[in-house]
């Protein structure tokens, strides 16, 4: 008989939803899972749950990463996680335990459900799309096919190879199951393959390892079973990955349909300030890259804000305010709110213009009305305003960085406009673990290094020693704009890629084009 009591407590008391987050692509999250995330008071998620899935969480929801990632030791023990779930539900919270894939496929969801049952906590299980099925599907590998396979099995590769052999009957599996899918087996792949072959598997059986299945960063390595560990090692394929063994793998040549991002698997060092890095990181992830953020720049308000405050207090003196960066938008909006002038800034009487799509996005996020935008740099913006006769005889307020370039001001004045600038924010150097950075550079942990400002280039260069500076030649060095490229060259760092415009999508495309050219030449 169904245990109706497990779902009756959803109204006013605490309730637990054991939710499968799917394999990574947020488009594969179920409708019920998305509803649970919107309505939750508390979400306890595994480390492998993607940020795109967590974006579905309600604005006021408390989110905690409990740190369970495949073979790695969790931040909290399983017992501590179960205790947290029960205690939170007892306090009346709606708790979502968010797990990668499906809660009941090697997710320890059964143990957490049992903990709720023992404590008398009502709960539900929201199944998720398991990577055991989704990763092969996105790689063009059906786990069953009438021509090749009528059965499949999903097994886990345990961190202790001895326990693997005792818990999994490899000889029976390889002799009776047509397709074998192994999850969490990357660490012990060589041992697992040896045991399969010892159990009777043909060493020439087609096999594949699929990393980051369903994501733009998905990568697939194919090889004969006996050669798969070496092929994975040579490709530097990383976990999480699903391993598929069976003749269905041969269908990938015909059925591969999913196009990963152009930067799939590329590790990119992002040196932008944290306030700006999220935009670049999202763009890189969409292209399949793995961004690694180590900010070289931080921002703070200028110490003397008299010029900004005067401009905000006398906004009626101006015809337009121009922003050359998203930082200028954020800092001016914050100062306007502090001084009680934001309503006057946002009422639409004062025209607002900006340079670049990212700056335009920042204007919209702050709730300001945007009247014009230059899709490239200062020259594009000025050319557009001149064409529309929106400069001559007009007064412009230009809040900017303390060390801001005067190109925009110079061109506005040359076109007949009057300009008043105001230092708004300043650059500072954040603390960086220089020794760790140098070690990672020497170890080749970064395929691409991205710099978006001369300040970031200068700080990065100051942290290097002879060995790490020499190691930079093994990475692709990329600059956003010629000014940043020149600053890198002044520091003795050769620049491989310069994005011509301050547009993030153009930057990732320029990097992808360069890497493609390198592959073609080699």
**Closest by CA position to 136, among listed 210, 206, 54:** 210
What CATH topology corresponds to 300-428?
Rossmann fold (3.40.50)
Q: How far is CA 420 from CA 24, 290, 321, 396, 398, in A?
A: 49, 42, 10, 6, 6
Helices 78-90 and 109-119: crossing angle in degrees, nearest 10, is: 40
What CATH topology corresponds to 5-129?
Cobalt-precorrin-4 Transmethylase; domain 1 (3.40.1010)
Q: In what order do the strands lie in the sheet with 62-65?
A: 62-65, 42-45, 94-99, 15-20, 123-126
Length of the chain equals 522
Is residue 412 within 8 A of residue 382, CB to CB? The reply is yes
Average pLDDT of the chain to the nearest whole number = 90
Active site residue 304: no
In percent, the amount of the chain with pLDDT more than 90 equals: 70
pLDDT of res. 503: 66
CA distance 68 to 377: 44
What's the average model confidence in pLDDT over 412-416?
Answer: 91
**In CATH, which superfamily holds the domain spanning 133-255?**
Tetrapyrrole methylase, C-terminal domain (3.30.950.10)
The model's confidence at residue 253, banded by pLDDT at 50, 70 and 90, is: very high
CA distance 205 to 222: 11
The model's confidence at residue 171, banded by pLDDT at 50, 70 and 90, is: confident
The model's confidence at residue 140, banded by pLDDT at 50, 70 and 90, is: very high
Is residue 478 within 8 A of residue 287, CB to CB? The reply is no
The model's confidence at residue 59, banded by pLDDT at 50, 70 and 90, is: confident
pLDDT of res. 82: 96
**pLDDT, tens digit, 9 for 90 and up, residues 226-252:** 999 999 999 989 888 999 999 999 999
The model's confidence at residue 504, banded by pLDDT at 50, 70 and 90, is: low
**Weakest mean pLDDT among 51-60, 160-169, 290-299, 347-356:** 160-169
Task: Return the structure tokens found at 218.
Answer: 């998905």
Task: Return the structure tokens found at 382.
Answer: 């000025």
Show me where the domains of the chain are located: 5-129, 133-255, 267-297+431-521, 300-428
Give the DSSP H/E element, type plus range, for residue 97.
strand 94-99
CA distance 379 to 305: 28
CA distance 426 to 449: 24
CA distance 306 to 105: 61
DSSP 3-state helix, strand, coil percentages of the chain (rounded to 5)?
Answer: 40, 20, 35
Is pLDDT of 488 > 90?
yes
The model's confidence at residue 286, banded by pLDDT at 50, 70 and 90, is: confident
Is residue 222 within 8 A of residue 196, CB to CB? The reply is no
Give the DSSP H/E element, type plus range, for residue 356.
none
The model's confidence at residue 93, banded by pLDDT at 50, 70 and 90, is: very high
* Residue in 41, 46, 283, 496 annotated catalytic: 46
Can the peptide bond before residue 240 be classed as cis, meaning omega within 30 degrees of 0? yes
Is residue 490 within 8 A of residue 511, CB to CB? The reply is no
Give the DSSP H/E element, type plus range, for residue 297.
none
- Cα maximum dimension of the chain: 85
What's the average model confidence in pLDDT over 273-284?
Answer: 84
**pLDDT, tens digit, 9 for 90 and up, residues 217-226:** 899 999 999 9
Is pLDDT of 463 > 90?
yes
Q: Give the distance, in angstroms, between the CA of residue 143 and the centroid of all CA atoms in the same chain.
A: 29
pLDDT of res. 376: 65
pLDDT of res. 47: 86
Active site residue 46: yes
Which of 425 and 279 is assigned the larger pLDDT? 425
CA distance 184 to 106: 9
Is residue 202 within 8 A of residue 174, CB to CB? The reply is no
Is pLDDT of 72 > 80?
no
The model's confidence at residue 71, banded by pLDDT at 50, 70 and 90, is: very low
**Weakest mean pLDDT among 12-26, 67-81, 236-250:** 67-81
pLDDT of res. 162: 45
What's the average model confidence in pLDDT over 305-325?
Answer: 95
* Phi/psi at 202 (5° precision): -70, 125
Predicted structure pTM score = 0.71
Is pLDDT of 161 > 90?
no
Q: What is the DSSP letter of 74?
A: P
Domains 267-297+431-521 and 300-428 share a fold: yes
Is pLDDT of 10 > 50?
no
The model's confidence at residue 69, banded by pLDDT at 50, 70 and 90, is: low
What's the average model confidence in pLDDT over 361-383?
Answer: 85
In this structure, the strands spanning 206-211 and 219-224 are antiparallel
**pLDDT, tens digit, 9 for 90 and up, residues 388-401:** 888 999 999 999 98
Is pLDDT of 195 > 60?
yes
* Residue in 25, 41, 68, 99 annotated catalytic: 68
Burial class (CB in 10 A: 0-12, 13-18, 19+), 520: exposed
Sequence-separated (6 or more) residues with CB below 8 Å from residue 51? none
User: Contacts for 65-74 with beta carbons within 8 Å, 24 or more apart?
Assistant: 70/184, 70/186, 70/239, 70/240, 71/159, 71/184, 71/187, 71/239, 72/47
The model's confidence at residue 52, banded by pLDDT at 50, 70 and 90, is: confident
Is pLDDT of 12 > 60?
no
Multiple choice CATH, 267-297+431-521, 3.40.50.10090, 2.70.70.10, 3.50.50.60, 3.90.1170.50: 3.40.50.10090
């Amino acid at each position: 008989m169904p245990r109706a009591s497990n779902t009756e407590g959803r109204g006013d008391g605490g309730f637990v939803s054991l939710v499968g987050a799917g394999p990574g692509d947020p488009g594969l999250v179920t409708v019920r899972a998305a509803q649970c995330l919107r309505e939750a008071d508390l979400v306890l998620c595994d480390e492998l749950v993607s940020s795109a899935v967590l974006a579905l969480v309600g604005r006021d929801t408390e989110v905690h990463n409990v740190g369970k990632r495949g073979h790695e030791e969790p931040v909290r023990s399983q017992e501590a996680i179960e205790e947290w779930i029960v205690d939170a539900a007892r306090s009346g919270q709606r708790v979502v335990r968010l797990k990668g894939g499906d809660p009941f496929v090697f997710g320890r969801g059964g143990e957490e459900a049992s903990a709720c049952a023992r404590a008398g906590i009502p709960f539900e299980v929201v199944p998720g799309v398991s990577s055991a099925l989704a990763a092969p599907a996105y790689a063009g590998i059906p786990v069953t096919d009438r021509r090749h396979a009528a059965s499949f099995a999903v097994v886990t590769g345990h961190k202790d190879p001895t326990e693997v052999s005792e818990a999994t009957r490899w000889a029976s599996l390889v002799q009776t199951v047509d397709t074998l899918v192994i999850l969490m087996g990357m660490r012990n792949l060589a041992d697992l393959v040896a045991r399969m072959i010892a159990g009777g598997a043909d060493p020439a059986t087609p096999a594949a390892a699929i990393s980051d299945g369903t994501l733009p960063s998905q990568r697939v390595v194919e090889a004969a079973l006996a050669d798969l560990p070496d092929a994975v090692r040579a490709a530097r394929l990383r976990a999480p990955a699903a391993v598929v063994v069976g003749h269905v793998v041969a269908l990938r040549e015909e059925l591969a349909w999913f196009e990963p991002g152009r930067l799939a698997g590329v590790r990119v060092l992002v040196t932008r300030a944290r306030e700006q890095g999220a935009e670049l990181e999202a763009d890189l992830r969409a292209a399949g890259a793995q961004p690694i953020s180590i900010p070289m720049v931080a921002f703070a308000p200028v110490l003397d804000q008299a010029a900004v405050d005067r401009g905000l207090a006398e906004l009626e003196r101006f015809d337009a305010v121009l922003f050359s960066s998203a930082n200028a938008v954020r800092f001016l909006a914050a100062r306007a709110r502090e001084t009680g002038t934001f309503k006057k800034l946002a009422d639409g009487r004062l025209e607002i213009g900006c340079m670049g799509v990212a700056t335009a996005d920042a204007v919209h996020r702050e709730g300001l009305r945007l009247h014009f935008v230059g899709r490239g740099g200062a020259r594009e913006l000025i050319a557009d305003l001149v064409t529309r006769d929106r400069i001559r005889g007009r007064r412009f307020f230009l809040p900017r960085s303390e060390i801001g370039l005067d190109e925009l001001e110079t061109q506005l004045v040359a076109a007949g406009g009057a300009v008043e600038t105001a230092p708004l924010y300043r650059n500072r150097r954040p603390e960086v673990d220089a020794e760790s950075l140098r070690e990672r550079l020497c170890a080749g942990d970064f395929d691409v290094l991205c710099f978006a400002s001369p300040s970031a280039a200068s700080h990065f260069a100051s942290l290097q020693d002879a060995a790490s500076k020499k190691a930079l030649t093994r990475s692709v060095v990329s600059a956003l704009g010629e000014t940043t490229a020149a600053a890198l060259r002044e520091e003795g760092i050769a620049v491989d890629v310069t994005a011509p415009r301050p547009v993030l999508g153009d930057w990732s495309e320029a990097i992808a084009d360069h890497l493609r050219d390198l592959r073609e030449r080699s």
